[in-house]
Amino acid sequence: MGFTAPLKYNKWKIKIAALRMYTCCVERINYDEFFDSNSLKKMIGPSWFSLTLGLTVGCSPPGRMCLVRMRQEGREGKFMCRYIVHSMWEDVEQRSKIMGIDAIHRKEAMKAMTETFYAAIFGYDEGILSDDCVLAAALWRNLFNRQCEDPQQLELMVEYVRKQMQFIDALDGEDLLLTGEVKWRPLLEENAQSILKVVSPTYNDAGL
């Protein structure tokens, strides 16, 4: 009859946690580390948006990985995902206004970024659930804007996404729903495998 059971946690608490998680994606990433270590510095224009979508909200690298993780938390997690994406679009619009982009061009840019966003989501999801070659192709298209000619740079980013997904997957789901607090592993670290936590059955079953 259309009855929907209430969420386990208060919606406003989840929304606040979602906003905090998005903030973690945007403000706790060491962008200088990526620009210094990758050919991202060649694409300064779309780099902030691409990096944010690709590494966390997008593989989100800071976005998609959070969305992938929170989808494991049932209805509450899916609700949180929607608000993370909502927060992202509000942030993008506010930044474009601060940059002085007029309403017409802002509308056109938002339309283009929406298409980019959903294409990135499809590509990253396929890459995360598939092998490293597929993930590398998704990163090359979406993060590097098809401009990376160094296979070592792609390999570095593939390793980063894999270890970050393992790390965030091991975080407590209830804590994520109530606090939204996420810390990120550095891009470069010695003996990264030695501090990876056990991967959950969800990803083991996917072959990751």
Can you give the pLDDT of all 208 residues of the chain as single tens digits? 444 678 888 999 999 999 999 998 888 877 777 766 665 555 434 445 555 554 445 434 557 788 889 999 999 999 999 999 898 888 878 877 887 878 888 788 778 778 878 888 888 888 888 889 998 998 888 777 787 778 888 888 898 888 888 899 999 999 999 999 998 888 887 765 544 433 333 333 333 3
- Note if the pTM is more than 0.85: no
Amino acid 62: pLDDT:
56
Residue 153 structure tokens: 């740079």
> Under a CB-based contact definition with an 8 Å cutoff, are residues 66 and 84 in contact?
yes
Amino acid 150: pLDDT:
82
Amino acid 81: pLDDT:
93
Rounded to an integer, what is the distance from CA 200 to the centroid of its chain?
19
Amino acid 49: pLDDT:
56
Cα dist from 37 to 34, 77, 113, 122, 163, whole Å: 5, 33, 25, 26, 17
Amino acid 63: pLDDT:
73
Reported as type and span, the H/E element at residue 189 is none
On the 0-12 / 13-18 / 19+ scale of CB atoms within 10 A, 88 is buried
How far apart are alpha carbons 173 and 168 in whole angstroms? 10
For residue 174, give the nearest of 73, 67, 69 by alpha carbon.
73
DSSP classification of residue 101: -
Amino acid 111: pLDDT:
83
